């Protein structure tokens, strides 16, 4: 039998702990970004500006696409939506 099982001597628990720590941090960062984005939007609208700034959103989409490829674009779209709401 060559199948690797979770009972083999692989550090699965340790790797999963690291993954869980990263996920916790990603969630915290996601929520923090969303709060900051909402603050920017509220401040801009309070001074008569627009809710959205498409040029800035394009920069963010490009940053994620360059770093992560097509999936990065999807991540960035969700990230932007979580801050400023749906289009």
Ligand X SMILES: C=C(O[C@@H]1C=C(C(=O)O)C=C[C@H]1O)C(=O)O
Residues near ligand X, by CB under 6 A:
37, 40-41, 52-53, 56-57, 60, 80, 83-84
- Please identify which residue in the block is written with the tokens 């628990």: 13
Q: Which residues contact 64 (CB under 8 A, 6 or more apart)?
A: 72, 73, 75, 76, 79
Rounded to an integer, what distance in angstroms lies between the CA atom of residue 33 and that of residue 37? 6
The least distance separating ligand X from the CB of residue 27, rounded to whole angstroms, comes to: 17
Residue 25 Cβ vs ligand X, minimum distance, rounded to whole Å? 19
Q: Least distance from C-beta 55 to ligand X, angstroms?
A: 8
């Amino acid at each position: 039998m060559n199948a690797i099982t979770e009972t083999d001597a692989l550090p699965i628990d340790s790797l999963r702990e690291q993954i869980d720590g990263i996920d916790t941090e990603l969630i915290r960062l996601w929520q923090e970004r969303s709060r900051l984005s909402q603050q920017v939007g509220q401040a801009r609208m309070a001074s008569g500006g627009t809710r959205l700034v498409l040029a800035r959103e394009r920069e963010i989409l490009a940053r994620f696409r360059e770093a992560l490829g097509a999936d990065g674009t999807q991540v960035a779209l969700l990230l932007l939506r979580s801050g400023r709401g749906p289009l």
